[in-house]
Structure 1
Amino acid sequence: MAADTREDTQARPSAPLTSTPHDKKTELYAVPVAPPNANALPQGSGLNTAGGKAKEAGVFDALRSIKPSEFKEVHKKPCVRDALLTGIGGGFGIGGVRAIWGATVWSSCNWAVGSFVFGSFLMYEFCQRRRLLEMAGMKRAVEVIDRKQVEKQKKAEEFRAAKRKAQDEN
């Protein structure tokens, strides 16, 4: 009997794994067809194993996922307070200056809102960047402290070994 190649195994339909006791030929060829890649999902299955495609999230799905209680706690998020205060100050300042210089109320309000949004965004990103740099610096400081502690322990161990050696010689 010739050995089956991978193409032959995949091309022919596999026999049922359960067979009658007198049907030895079926048991010999009852090799399940393996996909070409064990990590690959079957063709046309999409992203889930049920066989359908995953539903794409839309704007309304995103809005439904927001809970009203999250608005009560927005000030607790890092950098949000600084960003909002900077945006409010910038919006009030630029809108007020535009109004004093004789721009229409509508134009002054548009400038105030635009500068609020732009200033808040810039301050939030600036604060996040500053936090990232601070965390990296703290990580580096901890690594240096750990390295110094290891060196100090190594020196203390060498000192103890030298002391023991001196006592043994005496």
Structure 2
Amino acid sequence: MPCVRSSLLTGIASGVGVGVIRPFVASNWAMATFLVISTGSWMLCQKTKRDEFTRIHYAMNSTPPRTLKKDNGTEPQHD
């Protein structure tokens, strides 16, 4: 699945960071941070990919189709 690797790595790094900052309750805080950051990062990445796909789809459909000209200078034929 797209975005999973980067989201999990971001969540792991933030969980470790919180675990180092709060050593007495590290497991609860680190796990919660990992889940929240990973989920948020994945959702943001999915939204970015969906928006990019929509822009590409719109750009492809809004341009007129290209036609080829013949070498002898006559008008192109449309099929």
Which of 44, 48, 61 matches 1:126?
44
Per-residue Cα deviation, 1:70-105 (whole angstroms, up to 9, x for no partner): xxxxxxx21110110010011011111112xxxx1x
Q: What fraction of aligned residue pairs are identical, expressed as a percent?
A: 31
Which whole-Å deviations, capped at 9, do the CAs of 1:25-70 have from their partners, x for residues lacking one?
A: xxxxxxxxxxxxxxxxxxxxxxxxxxxxxxxxxxxxxxxxxxxxxx
Q: Show the 5 A alignment for 1:104-123.
A: 104=24, 107-123=25-41
Rounded to whole Å, the distance in 1 between the matches of 2:33 and 2:62 is 43
Structure with the larger helix share: 2
- Which whole-Å CA distance do the structure 2 matches of 1:141 and 1:119 have between them? 33
The one-letter amino acid paired with 2:26 is S
Give 1:85's aligned residue: 9
Q: Give the count of matched residue pairs.
A: 70
Task: Note the residue ranges of structure 1 that are not aligned, 5 or more in a row.
Answer: 1-76, 162-170
Structure-1-length-normalised TM-score: 0.38
Partner of 1:144: 62
Runs of 4+ in 1 over 2 A off after TM superposition: none
The two structures have a TM-score, normalised by structure 2, of 0.77
- Return the alpha-carbon distance in structure 1 between the equivalents of residues 59 and 14 of structure 2: 36
Partner AA of 1:90 in structure 2? S
Where does structure 2 lack aligned partners over 5 or more consecutive residues? none
What is the Cα deviation at residue 144 of structure 1?
A: 2.8
Report 1 or 2 for greater relative contact order, CA contacts < 8 Å, sequence distance ≥ 6.
2
One-letter amino acid matched to 1:97: I
The residue correspondences of 1:30-41 to structure 2 (distance < 5 A) are none
